[in-house]
Amino acid sequence: MIDINDRALIKKAIDKINKLAEKIDKLKIMHVCGSHEHTICKYGIRDVLPENITVVPGPGCPVCVTTQKEIDTAIYLADNGYVITTLGDMYRVPGSEKSLMEKQSEGCDVRIVYSISEAVKMAKKERDKKFVFVAIGFETTAPTTGAELIGLKDKDVDNFFILNCHRQTPPVMEFLLNEGVYLDAFICPGHVSTITGLKPYYSLCEKYKAPMVVAGFEPIDVLMAIIMILRQVVNGEAKVENEYIRAVKPEGNVLAQKIINEVFESIDVPWRGFPVVKNGGFGLREEYKRFDIYEHEDIPEIKEKIPKGCICDKILRGEKLPTDCPLFGKVCTPLNPVGSCMVSDEGTCRIFYKYRRI
Ligand code: SF4
Q: Is the pLDDT of residue 356 over 80?
A: no
**Ligand 1 pocket residue status of 200, Cβ below 6 Å:** no
Q: Is 180 within 8 Å of 87 (Cβ atoms)?
A: no
More confident residue, 301 or 45: 45
Q: Is the pLDDT of residue 315 over 80?
A: yes
Q: Is 264 within 8 Å of 285 (Cβ atoms)?
A: yes
**Ligand 1 pocket residue status of 327, Cβ below 6 Å:** yes
> What is the Cα–Cα distance from 242 to 247, expressed in whole angstroms?
10
**Ligand 1 pocket residue status of 312, Cβ below 6 Å:** yes
Q: Are strands 276-284 and 264-270 parallel, antiparallel or unpaired?
A: antiparallel
Question: What average pLDDT does the segment 17-38 reach?
Answer: 97
Ligand 1 centroid distance, CA of 193 (Å)? 28
Nearest CA among 265, 203, 272, 270 for reference residue 240? 203
> What is the Cα–Cα distance from 90 to 137, expressed in whole angstroms?
11
Beta bridge partners of 161: 132
Ligand 1 centroid distance, CA of 346 (Å)? 14
Ligand 1 centroid distance, CA of 344 (Å)? 12
Ligand 1 centroid distance, CA of 40 (Å)? 19
Q: Is the pLDDT of residue 3 over 90?
A: no
- pLDDT, mean over the chain: 95
Ligand 1 centroid distance, CA of 136 (Å)? 20
Question: What average pLDDT does the segment 317-328 reach?
Answer: 95
Beta bridge partners of 283: 265
The model's pTM: 0.94
**What are the DSSP calls for 25-79, one per residue?**
S-EEEEE--HHHHHHHHHTTHHHHS-TTEEEEE-S--HHHHS-HHHHHHHHHHHH
Q: Is 135 within 8 Å of 163 (Cβ atoms)?
A: yes
Residues with Cβ within 8 Å of 128's Cβ and at least 6 positions away in sequence, in order, are none
Q: Is the pLDDT of residue 164 over 90?
A: yes
**Ligand 1 pocket residue status of 349, Cβ below 6 Å:** yes
Nearest CA among 276, 199, 213, 214 for reference residue 247? 214
**Ligand 1 pocket residue status of 341, Cβ below 6 Å:** yes
Q: Is 82 within 8 Å of 131 (Cβ atoms)?
A: yes
